């Protein structure tokens, strides 16, 4: 019979970014060729493990381990994965140019560039190509590769602004020289210098685009500047390139600000940790921590890795990961997250996840990936630009060629064509959506909400209904004592008797009774032997009395007093579980329990209605009575009860037909199929649930529904800003084209209005970074 061995994938293939990488398939084939029966992946404790099936008659455990390590090393030596920081990209087209150039190189298996994150995700075969050759190719395109830990210098970071400033000074000097009657060659030389400085990066990007058979805004600007020069309008051409380069530089600086808001997340995790090894405390790099290591976290320090508290008590500020405003008390057994801040106590934390697997690391990765996922509006503007730019070039050519045939002066028609070319360039349109999406996703992450792409950011803002799972989402997920009704004696006596007997049971209802009794400061003596009556309750002896505790079925055949029956009927209609307590044949009273609503859920639902959500629905596997009791308590509009997971999927399809855009909020595990059918799937407690991070479109990192109205409000604000930007960008183009065509505006005015609108669009998008959690849609 075959046996199994499970190994951490991250130890066998330490370089790969995740288990979806092609190297996992290569490893599987290699190991099966070595004689293993089956090799596959399983997920346990939030991490991927390699499960190896082998015949113990043929291979020993140590041999299987050796084969796996050797195969992993062989693949790791050949196939390299890197995440490189690219410097010098000043527009989204740059990312396309780099990708296009690298994927054509033999040996490069993957090259994915995020302009927003300034990152290149690279996989290459080292037997076919060297890393140095890839870096050299990137440099040949005019970009730089920054090694980790090395930031670009001041000049490298601000070079666009420097070149633009030089262009502006030369333009001013050339214009003044012309006014002062200086030799024409001096004035022309200064203006040529302005052309060179202002057009340096624009010409580079235009050339790369043309080589990639693409026509973009940079191409339009270079054609317009060249046209102005051909007309002898050197001042207007230099002004065009100066303002275009200045707009680009300011846009790049603004995008950097949003990007750094995201990178600040990654900087939250400490670089080193104090770990207990071989009886001593040593300081190691966080990347060197292993599962099972015990790290010491002193007061005020950041926790270096995801894990659970092994010793100590302290309050931990989890705001960097979950967005919670108040510190959370931690004791042995509780989960903690990398990047969160320890309070006044010393904690010993047992590491459960490696550095690259931590919740914080995965958040940073997912936010970076979210920037590359285009929203519906962005896809529309990209398609529009692909058609519009060539149309503008064709239209410009016709404006140059046709009017002279009708007797119009060539110089005038050429000048107007160049002015139209400037007016029609959709610079503001190109940056309108990505700048807003980047800012919105960054702001959400800082507030403890992980949004996995521009599409989900926009979709949150069009929701008309929200469906909720009940257990663990609307409710706390475990029973609590809600009522203690004494018929004989007082509540304290009733609860003491109940707790004394129930303390011998591990049933959740029994533990809830014990918890409530302790909360009230009650104490009791141990009972004698306890008899469990399956599905009904318990019988025991306490202080010489025969005690029976259970539901009504435990007392079948007995005369239950009217007072008790009235209470059971009243509490039962509220969907509560009941415990009748009897001592020596006398009924002392009733204890009622229920899975109670989370604190503040009612207020959350009220806020959602204020944001524009018209319907809130509960989808639950519980019976109608239990579901209705919770719904009435929190103010839900509708309840659908008795649903299996498959029924929830059908319910979501029906709600979609009825209400249009519907979100599903759950724990990300058994609700995953229903989430997939929703407009937006929203998971609770993403920081503590790996499945929630993987399956949902949006994850509320804290186990707190209070973040949901903030996420919806932020999305609506993002959509408003995107619309404002689009209206401004399209409005400027719509007004400038006829103005330049009819000669009411020249190149100079067109340049000023055109580039001014681009800067306004970016600054408007950056307002989202300052969006307040309780803004209620007013801050944007």
Catalytic positions, please?
469
CB < 8 Å & 24+ apart, contacts of 154-162:
156/87, 156/88, 157/256, 158/249, 158/253, 160/90, 160/201, 160/245, 160/248, 160/249, 160/252, 161/246, 161/249, 161/250, 161/253
Assign 116 to helix, strand or coil: coil
Query: From CA 174, how far away is CA 333, in angstroms rounded?
Result: 73
Tokens 């959509």 belong to residue: 719
Tokens linked to 68: 């796996």
One-character DSSP codes across 282-304: EEEEGGG--TT-EEEE-TTPBP-
HEC-encoded secondary structure of 399-454: HHHHHHHCCCCHHHHHHHHHHHHHHHCCHHHHHHHHHHHHHHHHHHHHCCEEECCH
Among residues 648, 684, 676, 681, which one has the least CA distance to residue 664? Answer: 681
Q: Number of C-alpha atoms within 13 angstroms, CB side, residue 649?
A: 8
Tokens 């595990």 belong to residue: 669
Q: Which helix (H) or strand (E) holds 461?
A: none
Please, what sign has the CA dihedral across residues 504, 510, 516, 519? Answer: positive
Among residues 132, 27, 143, which one has the least CA distance to residue 88? Answer: 143
Q: Are the CB atoms for 339 and 269 separated by under 8 Å?
A: yes
Q: Are the CB atoms for 721 and 765 separated by under 8 Å?
A: yes
Assign 646 to helix, strand or coil: helix
Q: Are the CB atoms for 420 and 396 separated by under 8 Å?
A: yes
Tokens linked to 621: 């596997």
Tokens linked to 375: 């929203």
Among residues 333, 335, 305, 339, which one has the least CA distance to residue 319? Answer: 339
Query: From CA 603, how far away is CA 616, in angstroms rounded?
Result: 13
Q: Are the CB atoms for 41 and 4 separated by under 8 Å?
A: no
Alpha-carbon distances of 719 from 221, 352, 434, 768, rounded to whole Å? 30, 39, 12, 11
DSSP code of 478? Answer: E
């Amino acid at each position: 019979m075959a046996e199994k061995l499970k190994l951490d994938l991250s130890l066998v293939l330490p370089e790969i970014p995740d288990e979806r990488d092609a190297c996992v398939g290569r490893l599987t084939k290699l190991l099966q060729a070595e004689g293993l029966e089956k090799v596959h992946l399983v997920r346990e404790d939030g991490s991927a493990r390699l499960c190896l099936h082998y015949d113990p008659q043929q291979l020993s455990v140590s041999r299987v381990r050796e084969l796996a390590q050797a195969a992993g090393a062989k693949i790791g030596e050949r196939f390299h994965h890197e995440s490189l920081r690219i410097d010098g990209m000043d527009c989204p087209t740059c990312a396309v140019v780099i990708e296009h150039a690298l994927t054509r190189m033999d040996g490069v298996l993957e090259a994915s560039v995020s302009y927003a994150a300034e990152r290149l995700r690279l996989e290459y075969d080292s037997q076919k190509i060297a890393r140095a050759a890839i870096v050299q190719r990137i440099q040949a395109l005019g970009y730089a590769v920054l090694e980790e830990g090395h930031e670009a210098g001041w000049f490298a970071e601000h070079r666009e602004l420097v070149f633009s400033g030089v262009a502006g000074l030369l333009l001013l000097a050339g214009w003044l020289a012309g006014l002062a009657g200086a030799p024409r060659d001096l004035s022309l030389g200064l203006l040529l210098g302005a052309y060179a400085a202002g057009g340096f990066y624009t010409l580079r990007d235009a050339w790369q685009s043309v080589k990639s058979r693409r026509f973009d805004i940079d191409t339009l600007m270079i054609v317009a500047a060249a046209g102005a020069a051909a007309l002898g309008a050197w001042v207007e051409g230099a002004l065009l390139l100066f303002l275009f380069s200045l707009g680009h530089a300011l846009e790049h600086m603004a995008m950097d600000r949003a990007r750094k808001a995201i990178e600040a997340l990654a900087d939250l995790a400490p670089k080193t940790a104090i770990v207990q090894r071989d009886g001593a405390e040593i300081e190691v790099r966080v990347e060197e921590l292993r599962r099972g290591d015990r790290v010491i976290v002193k007061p005020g320090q950041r926790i270096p890795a995801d894990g659970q508290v092994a010793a100590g008590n302290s309050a931990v500020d989890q705001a960097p990961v979950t967005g919670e405003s108040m510190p959370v008390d931690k004791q042995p057994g509780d989960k903690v997250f990398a990047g969160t801040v320890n309070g006044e106590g010393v904690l010993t934390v047992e590491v459960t996840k490696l550095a690259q697997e931590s919740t914080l690391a995965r958040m940073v990765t997912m936010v970076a990936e979210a920037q590359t996922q285009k929203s519906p509006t962005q896809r529309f503007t990209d398609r529009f630009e692909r058609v519009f730019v060539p149309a503008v070039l064709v239209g410009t050519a016709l404006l140059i060629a046709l009017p002279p045939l009708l007797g119009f002066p060539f110089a005038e028609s050429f000048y107007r064509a160049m002015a139209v070319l400037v007016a029609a360039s959709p610079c503001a349109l190109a940056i309108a959506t990505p700048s807003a999406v980047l800012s919105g996703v960054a702001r959400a992450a800082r507030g403890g909400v992980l949004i996995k792409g521009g599409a989900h950011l926009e979709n949150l803002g069009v929701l008309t209904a929200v469906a909720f799972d009940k257990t663990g989402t609307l409710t706390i997920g475990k029973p609590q004592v809600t009522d203690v009704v004494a018929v004989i004696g007082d509540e304290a006596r009733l609860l003491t008797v109940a707790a004394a007997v129930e303390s011998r049971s591990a049933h959740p209802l029994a533990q809830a009774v014990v918890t409530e009794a302790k909360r009230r400061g009650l104490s009791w003596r141990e009972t004698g032997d306890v008899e469990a009556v399956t599905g009904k309750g318990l019988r025991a002896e306490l202080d010489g009395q025969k005690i029976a505790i259970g539901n009504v079925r435990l007392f079948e055949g007995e005369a239950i007093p009217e007072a008790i029956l009235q209470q059971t009927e009243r509490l039962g209609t509220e969907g509560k579980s009941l415990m009748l307590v009897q001592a020596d044949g006398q009924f002392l009273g009733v204890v009622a329990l229920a899975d109670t609503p989370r604190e503040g859920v009612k207020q959350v639902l009220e806020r959602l209605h204020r944001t524009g959500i018209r319907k809130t629905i509960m989808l639950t596997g519980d019976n109608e009575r239990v579901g209705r009791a919770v719904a009435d308590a929190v103010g839900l509009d509708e309840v659908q009860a008795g649903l299996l997971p498959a029924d929830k999927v059908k319910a979501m399809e029906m709600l979609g037909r009825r209400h249009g855009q519907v979100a599903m909020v759950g724990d990300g595990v058994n609700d995953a199929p229903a989430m997939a059918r929703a407009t937006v799937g929203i998971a609770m407690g993403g920081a503590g649930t790996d499945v929630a991070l993987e399956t949902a479109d949006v994850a509320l990192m804290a186990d707190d529904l209070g973040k949901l109205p903030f996420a919806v409000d932020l999305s609506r604000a993002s959509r408003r800003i995107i619309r404002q930007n689009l209206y401004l960008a399209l409005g400027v183009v719509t007004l400038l084209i006829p103005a330049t065509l009819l000669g009411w505006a020249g190149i100079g005015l067109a340049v000023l209005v055109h580039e001014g609108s681009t800067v306004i669009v970016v600054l408007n998008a950056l307002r989202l970074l300052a969006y307040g959690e309780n803004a209620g849609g007013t801050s944007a």
